[in-house]
Amino acid sequence: MEASTTFKQDLLLREYGRNVQDLVNHILTIEDRTERTRLSQLLINLMAKLNPQLRDIQDAQQKLWNHLYVMSGSKLDVDAPYPLSAMEYLNDKPQPMQYPLHTPRYKHYGNNVELLIQRATELEDPAERESAIVSLGKLMKTLYRAYNKESITDDIILNDIRQMSKGKLDMDLKFIESNNLFESSGKPPGQDAASPRPQQQNRNDRNDRNDRGDSNRNRKNTRTTSNTRNK
């Protein structure tokens, strides 16, 4: 089946240029089939260099041969390593996109969070359901901060989970807050809240070393003064 080539040639010439099209036209004038095949292979190598992004595409060589076949107006008769196709789909109109018709109740969370909450309500194992609530809380807190640029508390996130799940998902708020379960980078388990942070501890260590150094210098100065008086 031969496709109309006007649109396809204009489309492909923007990628390979007019000179490649002239080479294709020259190949069509050669009567020897073996010579046409040899020149076509050389031209394919040139087209691959002019269009390097095709290297990462599956069946790149076959696409190049199809491009060459289209640029010849579906007249290329060679011993190609692949079946040549006119790629009629280039003339096809793009398929209409399906836009989502459902507006999420909470726009800062989006439809995907509502779907995840719906899946979480279907879990029967209490441990899995509790783990799902914790994961949802971390995700929702991150999305809320990115959308509103404001601080958010765990009780608001938990209340949103209750409302979006129609009361099917719930946890103890005090347990969540005491363990920082809704924080993406919470403190490690067992870390005392009163224990100093690593940066603060480093500063304290440097201050202690400075204090010891000052004390040593003071003692040296005291000895020097005493020796001077004795002399």
Q: What does the pLDDT look like over 71-93, one tens digit per residue?
A: 888 888 898 888 887 765 555 56
In a shared domain, residues 17 and 74:
yes
What is the pTM assigned to this prediction? 0.41
Average of per-residue pLDDT values in the chain: 76
Instruction: Please report whether residue 224 resides in a domain.
Output: no
- Is 123 exposed, middle or buried (CB count within 10 Å of its CB: 0-12, 13-18, 19+)? middle
Cα 199 to Cα 205: distance, rounded to the nearest angstrom:
10
In a shared domain, residues 126 and 157:
yes
Q: Are 1 and 70 in contact (CB under 8 A)?
A: no
Q: Which domain holds residue 86?
A: 6-91
pLDDT digits (tens, 9 = 90+) for 54-76: 777 778 888 888 888 888 888 88
Instruction: Please report whether residue 188 resides in a domain.
Output: no
- Final residue belonging to a domain, choices 58, 91, 124: 91
In a shared domain, residues 82 and 146:
no
- Check residues 137 and 217 and name the one with the higher pLDDT: 137
Number of domains in the chain: 2
Which two three-digit tokens encode residue 124? 């029967």
**What are phi and psi for residue 103, nearest 5 degrees?**
-90, 125
In a shared domain, residues 13 and 86:
yes
- Final residue belonging to a domain, choices 91, 119, 141: 91
In a shared domain, residues 122 and 75:
no
Does residue 169 carry a pLDDT above 50? yes
Instruction: Please report whether residue 66 resides in a domain.
Output: yes
Instruction: Please report whether residue 175 resides in a domain.
Output: yes
- Final residue belonging to a domain, choices 91, 120, 144: 91
